Amino acid sequence: MVDEHMSRRRLLAAVALSSSITGCTSVFEGESGATPSGNSATSVEVTEALTGISNPWGLAFLPDESGLLVTEQAGRLLLTDPKTGDRTALAGIPDVYARGQGGLLDVTLHPDFNSNHLVYLTYSVADEGGSTTRVGRGRLERDQGQIADFEPIYTARPFVESDGHYGSRAVFDTEGYLYVSVGDRQFKNFGPDHVAQLRDNDLGSVLRLHDDGSIPDSNPFVDDPGASGAVFTFGNRNPQGLAIHPETGAVWETEFGERDGDEINILEKGGNYGWPVADNSCGYGTDDPVGVPHEERADVVAPVYGWACGSGGFPPSGTTFYDGEAFPDWRGDLFIAGLAKRYLAHFTVDGREVTEIEPLLADRDQRIRDVVASPVSGHLYAAVDADNAPIYRIAPDE
């Protein structure tokens, strides 16, 4: 049955790729692949579930699909009803540093949300030393229209004089660990002393925490007095996507390169993902590689898929694995929000083999910031990165 299902998915990928247009490059094979034209083997209907949202960044459905939480980068958390378009701006949200790429960023729910109603937010904050990424949590009180008892639970160190590269996604894995991504804050000293290569800080990394923000004893560097115990992986440039594989439970991550060099990674405990000493980016405005290819260093983990310098890049933001009922042929597939390329990318996944097939929303020509699958209907919802934005619903065309 498994072989038959995978063969059918490969056939769908081949059909979609037969009408391809522009190119992208695999960082492993070095061959020109294709970004398909959008003639999907699965017929879909796209509607605007919500309109008039201001720079939405993160999406999270309540488990019964009775509401969709939406973060607006300027600092509002909305509880919306995609069926009616109604929305409430929730009280109790922390103050955020909404400049540059900062603000109110991701939102996710505790695995036991049905009993504890805990909502987690990532956001940027500032003090006299600059700004950084923080994660906190509070309790959704729907009838009162608020997040009650909100508290910060972890603050990435150090604060930096930069308004860029905060990360920042948050996701719980199947064991209840909380992963939070933190960007490299745009440090440009491309060498072994770059902050993403130094484990004494939280920058350019993915953190692993308990649900209260404390550091697990099983983290890879917790016994190293010179390292941040919260770090799970490092050498990550600006990770804006985290998703849990529905079958393996592995954490998948997407991150921006410099000029191109964007990546899809599978996170390994203690892994060094190379930035900037091993990378497939070029420096902005040049054709000069930032680092050596991943394959030339045995101490780094290579991406499972990437956009090499000269490919035009992507770059990838929010991501989700599809495991719903509405699109049976898409189960196990990966969807990634595309910013500069302005579409929702669709990939089939077979182990570590990742293949891009038909894009979604390419005809809209809009920056896509996040994507989530509804837990009951199985429809996909995608947030547009704009100051007067829609959130699209993607459903079967029946």
Active site residues: 165
Is the Cβ–Cβ distance between 263 and 326 less than 8 Å? no
Q: How far apart are CA 261 and CA 283, in angstroms?
A: 10
Between CA 26 and CA 108 the distance in angstroms is 31
Three-class SS of residue 138?
strand
- Of how many residues is the chain composed? 398
> How far is residue 189's CA from residue 216's CA, in Å, rounded to a whole number?
31
Residue 108's CB is within 10 A of a number of other CB atoms, namely 25
CA dist., res. 152 & res. 137, Å (int): 6
Tokens representing 267?
Answer: 């996170």
Output b/e per residue, 15-42; b: 16+ Cβ within 10 A. Answer: ebbeebeeebbbbbeeeebbbbbbebeb
- Cα distance between residue 157 and residue 134, in whole Å: 9
Cβ-based neighbours of 331, under 8 Å, separated by 6 or more:
246, 322, 323, 324
Cα–Cα distance, 232 to 241 (Å, whole number): 15
What the block records as the tokens of 275 is 């930035």
